[in-house]
Amino acid sequence: MSYVDLHCHSTASDGTLAPADVVRLANDAGLVGLSLTDHDTIGGIAEAAAEAKKLGVRFLAGIEISAEYPRPGTMHLLGYGVDTTNPALGDLTRRLIAGRGDRNVRIIERLNQLGVAITLAEVEALAGGTIGRPHFAEVLVRKGYVSSRQRAFDEYLGQGGKAYEDKETITPKRAIEMIKAAGGVAVLAHPIQLRADNDSRLETELKNLVDFGLDGIEVLHSDHNDRTIEYLAALAARWNLLSTGGSDFHGGNKPHIRFGFAATRRIPVEFMDKIEARLALG
């Protein structure tokens, strides 16, 4: 059997390895293919693609876009095979990143008001691209304000935390349209994070996305238990959606996640084959 990882992050967003290093890790781990899916940016794709070519690892351009969704859930959409030169996609990523910039300033203001003396420069120094809350969490740990990254989210940065700030998002419909207009396939990342109360609620949400043009769902993910995986796989088969999978590797920012593994499972190369077949259909 051959395996891939179709969901991971580099320093272009909130991972700790450079894009080329993620590809080297994939190669060293014996994976035959991967997709780099940084948050709201394609800034790492060119470097990763070049390294993948050099090492003979199959590579698929990717992006993970945060879409509007009611609390306490989150909705992330993966775009696979997007044309990284697509002007509209470039505009979108610039707008999302600019929105993050404004939000980062607000988070710092909130923290400072709470007596937490960290600066934006300290956060920026840890980031190589898109800045995310994990970077703030790391600074809070390093400066001794909290004992762990998780505590940083629980107390300050997570939804309901004392310094929580929303970020600029786009509607799910628009995100799917943008991915498809850029020639990609749109996949709902980690459906468990929608935090739907029951299967019927989840299916209603999914049905909406399918109406907007959703192509697939991420069945294998580090947050999915066996029941969720079986359920999502059945749903994908029933609705003729692509099944995808990935670890959501972030390097040292999420040390519990093992590259190439969705919890205990590995991701079969057939998942990548089927995405590529769908892309080839245009």
Interface residue list for ligand AMP (CB under 6 A):
14, 39, 132-134, 150, 153, 158, 167
Nearer to ligand AMP, 150 or 171 (CB): 150
| Using rule CB under 5 A, residue 5 touches Mn ion | no
Interface pick for Mn ion out of 10, 11, 14, 128 (rule CB under 5 A) = 14
CB of 45 to ligand AMP, least distance (A): 18
Q: Does 248 bind Mn ion (CB under 5 A)?
A: yes
Binding segment for Mn ion (CB under 5 A), chosen from 10-18, 91-99, 174-182, 212-220, is: 10-18
Partner interacting with residue 76 (select from Mn ion, ligand AMP, none; CB below 5-8 Å by kind): Mn ion
Binding region for Mn ion (CB under 5 A) out of 75-83, 162-170, 197-205, 209-217: 75-83
DSSP string, 136-163: HHHHHHHTTSSSSHHHHIIIIISTTSTT
Stated as kind and residue range, the H or E segment containing 61 is strand 58-67
> What six digits make up the tokens of 95?
């707008």
Rg over CA atoms, the chain: 18
**Whole-Å CA distances, 4 to 30, 89, 241:** 9, 26, 19
Strands 265-268 and 3-5, bridge-based pairing: antiparallel
Q: Shortest CA distance to 129 belongs to which of 28, 253, 24?
A: 253
Nearer to ligand AMP, 39 or 58 (CB): 39
Tell me which of Mn ion, ligand AMP, none is bound by residue 127, counting a contact when its beta carbon lies within the kind-specific cut-off of 5 to 8 angstroms: none
Residue 138 touches Mn ion, criterion: CB under 5 A: no
Write out the H or E segment, with its range, that includes residue 202.
helix 199-212
Kindly state the helix (H) or strand (E) to which residue 106 belongs, with its residue range: helix 87-113
Question: Where does this chain bind Mn ion (CB under 5 A)?
Answer: 14, 64, 76, 189, 248
